């Protein structure tokens, strides 16, 4: 039986039980009502005749209550279950790939409204995630195609010019192949960050900041950028490897996207009652706020897309954002008035 039919029978059954109890109470009241001035034999004959006249009316009343309960229960159950039909339609459309449909149940304020709103919110998140994945796949395909096309072009030129110096070709192929490997590893890391279950442990962000700056100190010296780490111990719970990758990416971006000479990068850790923060601030060119909002998108770097001959693969801040979300944290990026960026990662504090 359908839910509507079960609800109808339930309503009708309740009406019948209530009607039967009411009629039984009336019959009992008539039975117990005293009749003054009648002998006992007359009294019993009086009640027997009264009950015989009362029984047909009671039977008709019960039949009427049954019909009333079935009809009213059927329409009442249909009205109550109408939102389920809308939700079912939305689920079927979503199953076919149509994620833009919304239930938008606005004329009710009950549990069905909460369910419909939750379902609409879920569809909205899924639609945004699918769109982001498609955009990411398209960008990744384009970026991976670029070094392969460059390699193919180099090999074609070398085939047509057998007298070309082999050392120059090998060096250029090595550089292009290294970029392709870096890009592939970054894509794999980004995918694992979205899917894997984290191995949790207590991690001090201040120590990770020191490790990252020590690792990237040669790159900073080469570019004439000074590194400074300060702040207190900031303990959080998460994957040490991923959080170290997060910190390293922030420091690397701050070094690469800095002033040509004389730039600086500052790493500051702080603690409040419920969270810990890691802030990375660097000098550099001025960026408009609307451009800053796109920096966490894959393959975006400042005011232009990453090219095959540029340093990095354009996934640094995208990986930082993914790792931060995996640790239930927030990432905030704001441009400084004098140039450069102010990047803050806020994570839950360890117990």
Structural domain boundaries of the chain?
3-95, 134-194, 199-348
| Report field, pTM of the whole predicted structure over 0.75 | no
CA distance 195 to 41: 88
Low-confidence ranges of the chain (pLDDT < 50): 37-43, 303-311
CB-hemisphere CA count at 13 Å for 141? 6
H/E run at residue 264? strand 264-271
The pLDDT of residue 149: 73
The pLDDT of residue 166: 72
- 41 Cα distance to chain centroid: 82
Strand partners of residue 275: 348
- Which bin fits 200, alpha (ψ -120 to 50), beta or left (φ > 0)? beta
Phi, psi (5° rounding) for residue 112?
-65, -35
Q: Which CATH class is domain 199-348?
A: alpha beta
Per-residue pLDDT tens over the stretch 282-327: 998 888 777 787 787 766 655 444 434 344 556 778 888 888 888 8
Find out whether 286 and 339 touch, Cβ atoms under 8 Å: yes
What does the DSSP assignment read for 88-138? HHHHHHHHTT--S------S--SHHHHHHHHHHHHHHHHHHHHHHHHHHHH
- 50 Cα distance to chain centroid: 71
Following CA atoms 203, 204, 208, 209 in sequence, which dihedral angle do they give, to the nearest 10 degrees? 150
Per-residue pLDDT tens over the stretch 96-129: 877 888 887 777 777 778 888 888 888 888 888 7
Helix (H, G, I), strand (E, B) or coil at 241: helix
The pLDDT of residue 193: 62
The pLDDT of residue 140: 66
CA distance 66 to 61: 9
Tokens of 87: 């939700």
The pLDDT of residue 305: 41
The pLDDT of residue 62: 80
| Helix, strand, coil content of the chain in percent (nearest 5) | 60, 15, 25
């Amino acid at each position: 039986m359908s839910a509507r039919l079960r609800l109808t029978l339930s309503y009708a059954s309740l009406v019948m039980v209530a009607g039967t109890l009411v009629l039984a109470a009336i019959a009992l009241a008539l039975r117990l009502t005293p009749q003054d001035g009648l002998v006992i034999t007359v009294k019993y004959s009086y009640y027997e005749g009264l009950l015989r006249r009362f029984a047909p009316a009671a039977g008709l009343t019960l039949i009427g209550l049954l019909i009333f309960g079935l009809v009213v229960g059927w329409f009442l159950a249909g009205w109550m279950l109408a939102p389920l039909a809308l939700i079912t339609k939305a689920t079927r459309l979503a199953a076919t790939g149509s994620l833009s449909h919304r239930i938008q149940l606005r004329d009710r304020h009950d549990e069905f409204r909460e369910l419909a709103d939750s379902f609409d919110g879920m569809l909205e998140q899924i639609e945004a995630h699918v769109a982001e994945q498609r955009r990411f796949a398209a960008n990744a395909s384009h970026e991976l195609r670029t070094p392969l096309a460059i390699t193919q072009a180099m090999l074609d030129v070398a085939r047509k010019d057998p007298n070309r110096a082999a050392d120059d070709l090998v060096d250029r192929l090595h550089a292009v192949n290294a970029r392709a490997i870096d890009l592939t590893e970054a894509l794999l890391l980004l995918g694992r960050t979205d899917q894997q279950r984290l191995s949790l442990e207590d991690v001090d962000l201040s120590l990770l900041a020191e490790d990252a700056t020590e690792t990237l100190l040669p790159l900073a010296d080469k570019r004439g950028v000074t590194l400074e780490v300060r702040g207190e111990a900031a303990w959080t719970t998460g994957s040490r490897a991923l959080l170290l990758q997060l910190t390293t990416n922030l420091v690397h971006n701050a070094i690469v996207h800095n002033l040509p000479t004389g730039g600086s990068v500052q790493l500051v850790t702080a603690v409040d009652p419920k969270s810990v923060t890691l802030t990375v601030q660097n000098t550099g060119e001025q960026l408009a706020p609307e451009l800053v909002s796109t920096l966490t998108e894959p393959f975006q770097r400042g005011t232009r897309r990453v090219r095959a001959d540029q340093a990095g693969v354009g996934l640094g801040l995208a990986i930082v954002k993914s790792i931060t979300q995996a640790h239930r944290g927030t990432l905030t990026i704001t441009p400084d008035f004098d140039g450069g960026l102010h990047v803050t990662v806020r994570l839950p504090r360890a117990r």
